[in-house]
Amino acid sequence: MSDPVPVITIDGPSGSGKGTVSSRVAEALGGWHFLDSGALYRLTGLAVEKAGIGFEDPQKAAEIAANLDVRFEQGKVLLGGEDVTLAIRTEQAGNRASKVAAMPEVRAALLDWQRQAVRPPGLVADGRDMGTTVFPDAPLKVFLTASAEERAKRRYKQLKEKGIASNIGELAEEIRQRDERDRNRSASPLVPAADALVIDSTGMTIEAVVEKILQAAHKVLPAG
């Protein structure tokens, strides 16, 4: 019997650096696949908005999530053929995502999407509940965090680099509210898995965080 395809889960709150760290870990492991599960929630939020059904109907939102017409092509994200790469990265898109993410029906509808991303040689999955719910058998689970101030600063810089104007104070407040909603929701709340390696990246460089995860990976992954 062949070994299962290995999965490394990297969960944590927004602005903790998960996205950058996850894609670098995937690359350093020799071209592993990378799942940005937050993008699926952002896409669902946008699709719900476009459908004009409001955010009060979990059943309809779940139908939309299950039937997302998404393509990831050459660094671009297409929803129903439309380029939404930037549209899903705004703070507004993050807030919509957080709303649909609180619906158990939507979370269930996105499970298959996420599990289908497991392909050889391995997958690094970035999100909130990758280690607790989506891939509970992953051999390495990381929970990455950082202080709220540091996360607001990082978010500000990221948005600026993408040409999106923002305000640090407002960002910090939005991050705090979103964290609270993500932590306190009943469906897959944002908590570290019991067996997660918790890394507080406040004051750490991206390289140092990546190195720490790679060291842990080499201890648990089969050699070769």
Footprint of ligand DC (CB under 6 A)? 14, 37-38, 41-42, 94, 97-98, 101, 127-129, 178, 182
Would you give the DSSP letter of residue 56?
Answer: S
- Identity of the residue, 1 or 142, whose beta carbon is nearer to ligand DC in the bound complex: 142
**Element at 31 (helix H, strand E):** none
Q: How far is the CB of 5 from ligand DC (least distance, A)?
A: 19
The answer to whether the CB of 163 falls within 8 A of the CB of 139 is: no
Q: How far is the CB of 35 from ligand DC (least distance, A)?
A: 9
Q: How far is the CB of 13 from ligand DC (least distance, A)?
A: 8
215, amino acid identity: Q
Taking 3-state DSSP, the helix, strand and coil percentages for the chain, each rounded to the nearest 5, stand at 50, 15, 35
- Identity of the residue, 83 or 215, whose beta carbon is nearer to ligand DC in the bound complex: 83
**Tokens at residue 221, please?**
């992954």
- Identity of the residue, 122 or 127, whose beta carbon is nearer to ligand DC in the bound complex: 127
Q: How far is the CB of 208 from ligand DC (least distance, A)?
A: 21
Provide the b/e sequence for 102-141 (b: ≥16 CB within 10 Å).
Answer: bbebbbebbeebbeebbeeebbbbbbbbbbbbbbeebbbb
- Identity of the residue, 132 or 223, whose beta carbon is nearer to ligand DC in the bound complex: 132
The answer to whether the CB of 11 falls within 8 A of the CB of 192 is: yes
* Residue 30 CB burial class (10 angstroms; 0-12, 13-18, ≥19): exposed
Q: How far is the CB of 18 from ligand DC (least distance, A)?
A: 7
Q: How far is the CB of 181 from ligand DC (least distance, A)?
A: 7
Partners of residue 70 on adjacent β-strands: 79
Q: How far is the CB of 218 from ligand DC (least distance, A)?
A: 25
- Identity of the residue, 24 or 223, whose beta carbon is nearer to ligand DC in the bound complex: 24
Instruction: Please give the residue whose beta carbon sits closest to ligand DC in the complex.
Output: 38
Complete DSSP assignment for 81-118: TEE-TTGGGSHHHHHHHHHHHT-HHHHHHHHHHHHTT-
- Identity of the residue, 133 or 224, whose beta carbon is nearer to ligand DC in the bound complex: 133
- Identity of the residue, 100 or 215, whose beta carbon is nearer to ligand DC in the bound complex: 100
